Structure 1
Amino acid sequence: MIATIIVLSMFLLLAMGMPVGFSLIAAGALGIFWIGGPAALLGILSSMPKDNAASYEFLAIPMFLLMAEFVLRSGIADDLFQAAAAWFGRVRGGLGIATALAGAGFGAICGSSTAAAATLSSTSLPAMLKYGYDMRMASGVVAISGTLSMLIPPSIAMVIYALLADVSVAKMLIAGVIPGIIVTFTIALTVWYLAIRNPEHAPLTEPVTLGQKFASLRPILPMILLMGAVTGVIYTGVATPTEASAVGAFFAGVLYISRQGFRWREMAQVFSRATRTACMLAIIILGAHIFTTFFALTQTTQVIIDWVGALPVNRWVVLVVLVIVILLLGFFLDQMAILVLTVPILAPLLTSLDFDLVWFGVIMIVTAEIGLVHPPLGLNCFVVAKYAKVPSGEVFWGVLPHCIAHLIAIAIMVAFPALSLWLPSQM
């Protein structure tokens, strides 16, 4: 009864517009006070904020955010798209495929989906419209390509999932590599199919010589090396994710200065934005831990585990239901809220059902990607609509085929766990 009241109060705070982190803190603190009194509440609040902020693994988040800010301001996203367009422009739907590849490359440096969607909207979207691409097709592929930043390392969502589920951050990041390739291929294949079906929606571009194609790779070579180095040192064990994030942030800063020069004002903005975002995420994680502590005190998680364990259904049926629930939550909550609200409850449940938490993390992130592009909350679609100056409904229609293709990709990854677990097992 207490747990129900506290959960409802938390959702009420969210409905009133309170940020996710503060809603979790307020509701969780109220529940702890209700059960244990002021002594229990003060004991938790006096130690938990410091313990969360001092976590060694958490340091990877501000460093990855700093790396993303440097790359965003370096202007390399335009070079990424130009290189991909040079190589695939003569393929039917080539500029859309180039957008997917640019989104994957950008996602390998920038862990923010909305930032990736905004950047692709200002680079690849004008180019596609210039060559006569259908607005729905062009805006749809831009919106869905931005979501790759959630999956391809270094992904902030992956790091937060690992911290909440208490699994290895390194294994979680590496687990996203092969699924990231699969999802990128899924987007590209969907664009190609749509272009073959309606050739007038995706005209071919001018021919590009082989020399021009290789020349287009030169500006993006430093970013490719940075991307490979960050993921490579984590995979080989040469550095922890925290160490790799710090090195990546440093060299991203060098890349930014070499391309844009050193500007005190802009450097201050870079550090300020990264710090503010990191603080916001720290509050969200703190709120999740306080709320989880309340659940532990009420034995709510154990009650849920016992109830599900007693159900006369196969564990795979439970998994499919959980994936559908996460998909439905995307209609009303953003992806970070879904993670912090569900992972602390689902992690013990899935462990009791003998599912691998790293594998489920990948499934959860890919499922949450769809929430970024389907109504009514599809944030990436609103970002693209703003940049393209078109009704958001046009973008939602354009992204619909990609949502269907994503569901097929999720089914494949559920059916074949090795796609997510093979690389981490080789570390």
Structure 2
Amino acid sequence: MEWYYVAIGLLGLLLLFISIGVPIPFALVGASLPFLWTIQDFSTSLMSNQLQLWRTWIDYILLSVPLFVFLGELIAKSNLGEKLYEAFYRGTSVRGAAAYGSIGACAGFGAVCGSSMVGSLTIGGVALKQMLRLGYDKRLSAGILAAGGTLSVLIPPSLILLFFGIVTDTSIGKLFIAGIIPGIILTVMFFSIILIWKKLDDKAVPRKENIEKVNFRFVFFAFLPIVVVGAIIISSIYFGIATPTEAAAIGVVVTIFFSYFLGGLTWTKFKDSILATMKTMGFLGILLAGSALFGFVVEYYGIPEEITKHIAQMELSKYEILFMIMIFYFVIGMFLEPVSMTFITLPTLFPLIEYAGFEAIWFGIVYTILMEIAVLTPPVGLNLFVIQGIANKDITILDVIIGVIPFLIALVLMIALLMFEPEIAMFLTRD
């Protein structure tokens, strides 16, 4: 069977299954099986399914995924995230402290948790009602917290960077390190948006916030867990002391300690953290297995190589190829969530990036920002619905969408900045 028939068939079946509501992991398997049966009989294909599932989860580096998810859940279930937010906004006296504090807390949370949705839920659950109570514009409030959660997937550790490294066989440690400077710059951009919004609409930010200030001791112990855990994870990877999996394991142990002694973690909340991690990993497990089977069929028919060969014949410049891929992700990001996109599309499209001559680590950062854009774009922007769900009837989904527009512009500008000066991402990774 010709490769293009397989490519069209795989894509068509996948879209059909997704459109009728089949969960993405099962849609991947359902789309793969008819083409798997053209090269294997039924009994052999069953064995292939089992082998793909087994091969996926004996990968040592994948052990870091449940550990990072568990770490984030521990902080979310304890009150470490709440204390971090309070330290940011109650520890400063500037106008707009709650807004700046939300971005700061999201960035701080991102230093220990790699999930955008968990970041928005944890900080948004505390900050949104507080900001509305203080008199902040609802669109500004929603935009800050929906976009702020995306910092969790750029500032290391990041699950998207982790999955990118697994799919493309790129150093996860270097990917994490490469995200530090872009993450800091993006945080500053988000601070600037609040400042500009305040200048353009003076009523968007209350002139006076009636909040009780906290002392230095409170601020110190609020920042301590985040600083220590983040420093342990990043420094141990950067200096080659530990692998990402080992760093994640150490981070979990230290987080349990801080969550219990400083975060009010109870036995019930601890069990809830484990249960939430198991639910997340249940989905990720079958998604990874389904994508492995899908990838096996794609690789067998040589679809990535054929696409790369035909693109090469078009004699496009490297930036034309990059723009084509980015536009593809802008569009597909409106309908799929980042983890699914990573495992479905990257095995096919990454060879184009290699052919064009872009560094894998640099593109990993650009790709992660594209995934940040994906969770903020309707109709299936996860963070939009997370924040609207927290707000319930106080904020409409349209308010959230309008609120994130300036932050989407900042994300696009960040990509442009990385294209203009790649060393922003690559500087810390140089030997």
What TM bracket, shorter-length normalisation? over 0.9
The residue type paired with residue 94 of structure 1 is A
- Given the alignment of the two structures, is residue 82 of structure 1 paired with residue 95 of structure 2, yes or no? no
Match of 1:296 among 292, 299, 314: 299
Alpha-carbon distance in structure 2 between the residues aligned to 1:318 and 1:219: 46
Secondary structure, counterpart of 2:38 in structure 1: helix
CA contact (8 A) 1:57 1:169 kept: no
Partner of 2:412: 407
Partner of 1:120: 123
Alpha-carbon distance in structure 2 between the residues aligned to 1:292 and 1:277: 22
Shift of 1:305: 0.3
CA contact (8 A) 2:111 2:226 kept: no
CA contact (8 A) 1:86 1:213 kept: no
Shift of 1:208: 9.4
- Given the alignment of the two structures, is residue 129 of structure 1 paired with residue 164 of structure 2, yes or no? no
Q: How does 1:47-126 map to 2 (within 5 A)?
A: 47-91=51-95, 93-126=96-129
CA contact (8 A) 2:72 2:118 kept: no
Alpha-carbon distance in structure 1 between the residues aligned to 2:48 and 2:86: 52
- Given the alignment of the two structures, is residue 316 of structure 1 paired with residue 310 of structure 2, yes or no? no
- Please give the per-residue CA displacement for 1:251-305, whole angstroms capped at 9, x wherever unaligned: 1111122135564433222212212312321222222221121112212111100
- Given the alignment of the two structures, is residue 147 of structure 1 paired with residue 138 of structure 2, yes or no? no
CA contact (8 A) 1:103 1:120 kept: yes
- Given the alignment of the two structures, is residue 165 of structure 1 paired with residue 168 of structure 2, yes or no? yes
Alpha-carbon distance in structure 2 between the residues aligned to 1:321 and 1:30: 30
The residue type paired with residue 203 of structure 1 is P
Shift of 1:414: 2.2
Instruction: Give the gaps of 5 or more residues in structure 2.
Output: none
Q: Would the alpha carbon gap of residues 159 and 134 (structure 1) be closer, same or farther in structure 2, given more than 3 Å must change?
A: same
Secondary structure, counterpart of 1:237 in structure 2: coil
CA contact (8 A) 2:79 2:265 kept: no
Partner of 1:203: 206
Secondary structure, counterpart of 1:109 in structure 2: coil
Q: Would the alpha carbon gap of residues 262 and 142 (structure 1) be closer, same or farther in structure 2, given more than 3 Å must change?
A: closer
Secondary structure, counterpart of 1:203 in structure 2: coil
Alpha-carbon distance in structure 1 between the residues aligned to 2:250 and 2:170: 23
Q: Would the alpha carbon gap of residues 9 and 255 (structure 1) be closer, same or farther in structure 2, given more than 3 Å must change?
A: same
CA contact (8 A) 2:77 2:265 kept: no
Partner of 2:8: 4
Shift of 1:342: 1.2
Partner of 1:364: 367
CA contact (8 A) 1:371 1:378 kept: yes
- Please give the per-residue CA displacement for 1:129-170, whole angstroms capped at 9, x wherever unaligned: 232211111111111001111111111111111111111121
CA contact (8 A) 1:6 1:30 kept: no
Alpha-carbon distance in structure 2 between the residues aligned to 1:22 and 1:89: 52
Shift of 1:193: 0.7
- Given the alignment of the two structures, is residue 27 of structure 1 paired with residue 8 of structure 2, yes or no? no
Alpha-carbon distance in structure 2 between the residues aligned to 1:82 and 1:209: 10
The residue type paired with residue 4 of structure 1 is I
Secondary structure, counterpart of 1:219 in structure 2: helix
In terms of mean alpha carbon deviation, does 199-208 or 218-227 score higher?
Answer: 199-208
CA contact (8 A) 1:288 1:344 kept: no
The residue type paired with residue 56 of structure 1 is Y
The residue type paired with residue 89 of structure 2 is A
In terms of mean alpha carbon deviation, does 236-245 or 156-165 score higher?
Answer: 156-165
Residue correspondences, number: 425
The residue type paired with residue 29 of structure 2 is I
Alpha-carbon distance in structure 2 between the residues aligned to 1:332 and 1:129: 30
CA contact (8 A) 2:78 2:265 kept: no
Q: Would the alpha carbon gap of residues 219 and 46 (structure 1) be closer, same or farther in structure 2, given more than 3 Å must change?
A: closer
Secondary structure, counterpart of 1:218 in structure 2: helix
Q: How does 1:199-238 map to 2 (within 5 A)?
A: 199-205=202-208, 212=215, 215-238=218-241
Match of 1:425 among 405, 416, 430: 430
